[in-house]
Amino acid sequence: MKIAISGKGGVGKTTIMGLLAGALRQQGREVLVIDADPSPHMAQTLGFTNAGEVKPIAEMTKLLTERAGKTQGSPFYNLNPEVNDLLHDFMIEQDGIKLMILGAVQTAEGGCACPENHVLRKMLKKMLLTANEVVLLDMEAGVEHLGRGTVAGVDQLLIVVIPSRSSIRTALKIKEMADAVQIPRVVFVANQVQDDEDRQFLVTELGQTPVAFFPASSTIRKAERSETPMTTITDQLDHAPDQLLEAIFKAN
């Protein structure tokens, strides 16, 4: 299963992705986390001590251009770049969780049809997973990744939203664009929820109930400040991680 997570900047999507990775490992599943945020923090969130050994794929512009098959002055790309070896050459593993860091997307020509995103899309689509394998894709904040079609190969998109109007506006726009590119399943995940008033505000403004409600947690706040890996958190967080896991696998 391939799961992407998105949302407005600052809503806690990377934290929730880290908690989800830990919960999946506790179930005995094989987990690959792909940090596709231009400002990557997933290594720290997961507690990887050797993240510096991974070279972000997006920095290897020459290789990516060759893989995408675009020559200078040509508007066309090779539709089947070979990317399988990237899955092994650009990942590290710790405590049973694998990590890839894609890094910032930088192109000289600009636009959305760039070699980096072409390879990302193909990589996701080419991955053949067993029933026990899960890929978690931490996207950049906002809607740009949907405009580029990077998440077209995922099975589910989790949109993290907090009880604020600006977060909700972004979340609804992300859902609209995700539906347009026909991602099979798109759901909301609530974060930083303090009380029933927050819950009702989210349900009313979103027009549907989020599949999980993560509380405003001092445990999470202290863990982030001390750089404690999210995978080691023992606080049950109002059973939100369990709610999220149930919702993810109920759809399959």
CATH at 101:
3.40.50.300
Nearest to 156 by CA among 124, 132, 204: 124
Alpha helices in 82-212 (DSSP H): 86-89, 115-126, 144-148, 165-180, 196-206
The residue range of the domain holding 134 is: 2-250
What does each of the 252 residues of the chain score in pLDDT, given as a tens digit?
999 999 998 999 999 999 999 999 999 999 999 888 767 788 889 999 887 777 777 666 666 667 666 655 666 656 566 666 667 778 889 888 999 887 654 443 444 445 666 666 777 776 767 788 899 998 877 666 665 566 767 899 999 999 999 999 999 999 998 888 888 999 999 999 999 999 999 999 999 999 999 999 999 999 999 989 999 999 999 999 999 999 999 866
| Torsions phi, psi for 126 (to 5 deg) | -85, -15
Nearest to 115 by CA among 102, 105, 125, 124: 105
Distance in angstroms (rounded) separating the CA atoms of residues 211 and 247:
6
Distance in angstroms (rounded) separating the CA atoms of residues 207 and 222:
33
End-to-end Cα separation, the chain, in angstroms: 9
Distance in angstroms (rounded) separating the CA atoms of residues 161 and 157:
13
Distance in angstroms (rounded) separating the CA atoms of residues 45 and 43:
5
Nearest to 116 by CA among 169, 67, 48, 185: 67
Angle at 132 between CA 45 and CA 136, to 5 degrees: 30
**Under a CB-based contact definition with an 8 Å cutoff, are residues 81 and 115 in contact?**
no
Distance in angstroms (rounded) separating the CA atoms of residues 186 and 33:
19
Q: How many domains does the chain have?
A: 1
Distance in angstroms (rounded) separating the CA atoms of residues 240 and 243:
5
